[in-house]
Amino acid sequence: MVVSDKHRYVFVELPRTGSSAIRRALIQRYDGRAVLHKHATYEEFLKIASEEQKRYFVFSCIRNPLDDAVSLYFKLKTNHKNKFQPGGTREPIFRTMIRRLQGKAGFDNRTSFPEFFLKSYKLPYDQWSSLSHHRFDYVIRFENLSDDFRATLERLALPRGPSLPLHNRTSGKSRDFLSYYTPATVERAKCVFGPYMKQWGYEFPAEWGDTRVGLWTELEFKLLRMLRLFYWKQVRPVLHARHKGVTF
């Protein structure tokens, strides 16, 4: 998370949404400073923020979950920055995912994306952007990262500066993300990602046919969201604090 008291903004970093490039630009050019941990939620910030800081302009990023799933697969496959193998620095949820996919020798690089997807994505997708992104002053789309970041700077009355450089690029991903989805994964993807994509205005490819969200899927999504919100708001910060030895 990045905060600037001079320019009165808070940037909330959501994983795999281009936030590393924005974080670097804010700290280097726009008087930003890192607070809490990189992927802290806005709710965590509110616990330590002053009344004045609670009125700052808040922005974050979001990404098409179809693309995010492919990015996560390649980060696991390439052990991105040595964070995704046992003993790395990722949070327990990632280590749990790895254990499902690995043999005793570690992550099996022969695992294809369809195998990974069908094994790992079974319930309706959601992530902690659902906590408060809908209340933020601006949400940058990963698909339009540079233009949306410039629009954010304009809202803050800050100079544009150089183009936003690519940072923390996922290695191994060489094609358009949609090309990794096979007929075997399309129906699962529509069910898993449908409610979230509907919420954020993302669309499935027209050639995927009927992508309407079923009533049961919508209900399952809403029920799971209640449980997930409790975890993200109440449990995750405590677990992270214990892991890092931080107290609020």
Count of structural domains, the chain: 1
Please return the burial class of 122, using the count of CB atoms within 10 Å of its CB with bins 0-12, 13-18 and 19+.
Answer: exposed
Q: In which domain, by residue range, is 173 found?
A: 2-244
The DSSP bridge partners found for residue 2 are: 11, 34
pLDDT category at 111 given cuts 50, 70, 90 is: confident
CATH number at residue 151: 3.40.50
pLDDT, residue 99, reads 45
pLDDT, residue 167, reads 58
pLDDT digits (tens, 9 = 90+) for 136-162: 999 999 999 999 999 999 999 999 877
pLDDT category at 129 given cuts 50, 70, 90 is: very high
- Positive or negative CA dihedral for 220, 136, 160, 32? negative
Three-class SS state of 86: coil
- 184-203 average pLDDT score: 94
- For strand 57-62 and strand 33-34, is the pairing parallel, antiparallel, or unpaired? unpaired
pLDDT, residue 77, reads 82
Q: Are 22 and 32 in contact (CB under 8 A)?
A: no
Res 125 pLDDT > 80: yes
Residue type, 98: I
If one counts every other C-beta atom within 10 angstroms of the C-beta of residue 206, the result is 7
> In this structure, what are the phi and psi dihedrals at residue 242, rounded to the nearest 5 degrees?
-65, -40
Task: Write the DSSP assignment of 44-108 as a string of letters.
Answer: HHHHH--TTGGGSEEEEEE--HHHHHHHHHHHHHTTGGG-SSTTSSS-HHHHHHHHHHEETTEE-
pLDDT digits (tens, 9 = 90+) for 52-109: 999 999 999 999 999 999 999 988 887 545 454 544 444 444 444 444 444 433 446 6
Rounded to whole angstroms, the Cα distance separating 41 from 132 reads 9
pTM score, two decimals?
0.82
**Closest to 17 (Cα-Cα) out of 139, 155, 125:** 139
Res 31 pLDDT > 70: yes
